[in-house]
Structure 1
Amino acid sequence: MAINVGKTAALLVGARSPMRQLTLRGQDVEWQTSVCYLGCHIDRSLQMVPTVNRAVNHAAAARIKRRIYGAYVRSRLTYAAPAWFALCLASQRQRIQIQQNRCLRLIVGAPRYVGNDVIHKDTRTPTVEEFVHHVARMFARADNSACRHLHGIAPLHARPPDGRPQPRELLLSPTTCPDAGFDEDGLGQQ
C-alpha cells in the first residue's frame, strides 16, 4: 500500500516533549500537537475539544442561516400568501417551491444528489405550501381564541355573488390542508 508521507503526522498523547524523530520511507514524520483524521480534530489530551468546538460552531451557523432564511427569504416568497396562494397555478406554486429548495440547499451546502425532501426534513423546514396552510390556520385560530384582541384580526369577507370560495377558504379546506407541526418560530416541524 502506498503511503503519502506528506500527509502523515505523529501525535504523542500525554507527553510534554516529542520522542525521537520518526521516519517513514526515508522521510521524517512531523510531530504535531493535534491532527485531523476523517474530519475529527484530535489533540494531545484526547478530550476532543477542537472537534466539539467545530461541531457547535457549525450547528450555530446553520441555525442562524435558517432563521435568516425564515425572516428574509421566505417572508418575501410568501408575502400575503393566504390571500393569493390558493389561486395560483400549480406551475407558479412549483416555481416558489423551487426557489425555496435552492435557498435551503445553499444554506446547508448540500450536493446535488441529496434530495430536497431530505434537506427539508433535516432542517425541519416545511414546504411553501405547508407553511402557507399554517399561516391560514393561524387566522382561523385567532378568531376562535380566548384572547378577544385577536378576534377579527383578518376577517373573512362575504363570498362574492358568483359563490366562489375566498382564497383562505380554499386553503383551509380539509382536502388541501396538510397538517404540519411547527416549532416556536414557525420554521419547521416540532
Structure 2
Amino acid sequence: MQRLLDLLPEWLEKWKMAVNVGKTAAILTSRRRPLRQLQFRGQDIEWKTSVCYLGCHIDRSLRMIPMVNHVVNQAAAARSMLYPVLVSHLPTRTKLRVYWAYVRSRLTYAAPAWYALCSATQRRRLQVQQNRCLRLIVGASRYVRNDVIHRDTLTPTVEEFVRHLASRLFARADNGPHVHLHGIAPLHARPPEGRPLARELLQQSSSSQPVIPDTGGISD
C-alpha cells in the first residue's frame, strides 16, 4: 500500500489532479490492527474505523451499521419535517410521490452498493421507516396490517425497491457503451461465512419480481 502511495503523485501530476491529504483516511476491513503508519507526500494518513466515501459510511466490519444509522436518521428527519403534508387532505397519490421523492430517496441512497451487506435486523429498521410513512399517508389505524397498506398503495417494500434499483444498475453497466463497466462487481463463489456480494440482490430477486409503483392506479 505504501509503495502504491509513493507512485501516486506522478499520476496525479500527469492528470492535473489534487489530493487533500488532511481529508484522506485509511480503513482496514478486518480485525487485524494496522501494521504501519501510511504516508502520502510526507504526511501521515489517519487510520479510521469508519469512513465516509461519496456519502456512504463504511465501517471496518462491513456490516454497514453506520450507513443504516445515517439513512434512518435522514429519513426520520425528513418524515418529521413533512408530517403536515403526509397527514394532510392532499390526494394519496400526491402524498406518496412526496414520500418517494423526499424520504425513500434518503432511505435507499446508493443502496445497491451496501444493502446486501445489511443484516436482517438492519433491513427491518429500514422497512420500519417506510411503514411509518405509509401509515401516516393513508391514516391507517393500528389494526391495519402493513402488507395491506403496501398492496393498496402499490408500493414495493424497501427490499423489493432496492432489488429493482440493483437490477437497473447492473443492466445499464453490463449493456452500456462503457466497456470498462461491463461485469462490474461480479458474482464470485464465496464460502458460506463470507460477506455477501452486491449482485446477490439479483439472485434473490430471480424468483419474484419486485412490484414497481404505478401512480396511475392509486385511488385517492
TM tier relative to shorter chain: 0.5 to 0.7
Hey, what's the Cα distance between the residues in 1 that align with 2:157 and 2:179?
Answer: 27
**Aligned counterpart, 2:136:** 106
Q: How many residues align?
A: 128
Hey, what's the Cα distance between the residues in 1 that align with 2:164 and 2:119?
Answer: 20
Hey, what's the Cα distance between the residues in 1 that align with 2:118 and 2:178?
Answer: 32
Hey, what's the Cα distance between the residues in 1 that align with 2:172 and 2:106?
Answer: 23
Residue-by-residue CA offset, 1:54-110 (whole Å, 9 max, x unaligned)? xxxx6x621110001101110111111111111111111101101110000001111
Q: Does 1:80 find its partner at 2:96?
A: no
Q: Which runs of 5+ in 2 are unaligned?
A: 1-88
SS of aligned partner of 1:173: helix
1:152 is aligned, of 177, 181, 202, to 181
Distance apart, 1:149 and its partner CA: 6.7
Q: Does 1:118 find its partner at 2:184?
A: no
Query: Which stretch of structure 1 is more off in the superposition, 77-86 or 148-157?
Result: 148-157
2:169 is aligned, of 139, 150, 158, to 139
Instruction: Report matched runs for 1:5-24 at 5 Å.
Output: none
Task: Give the TM-score normalised by the residue count of structure 2.
Answer: 0.48
Question: Which amino acid in the other structure matches residue 113 of structure 1?
Answer: Y
Hey, what's the Cα distance between the residues in 2 that align with 1:127 and 1:151?
Answer: 32
Change (3 A) 1:158 1:174: closer
Task: Give the TM-score normalised by the residue count of structure 1.
Answer: 0.55
Q: Which runs of 5+ in 1 are unaligned?
A: 1-57
**Aligned counterpart, 1:53:** none
Question: Which amino acid in the other structure matches residue 148 of structure 1?
Answer: P
SS of aligned partner of 1:125: coil
Hey, what's the Cα distance between the residues in 1 that align with 2:119 and 2:112?
Answer: 14
Supply the RMSD in Å over aligned alpha carbons: 3.6
Distance apart, 1:167 and its partner CA: 3.2
Q: Which has the higher helix share?
A: 2
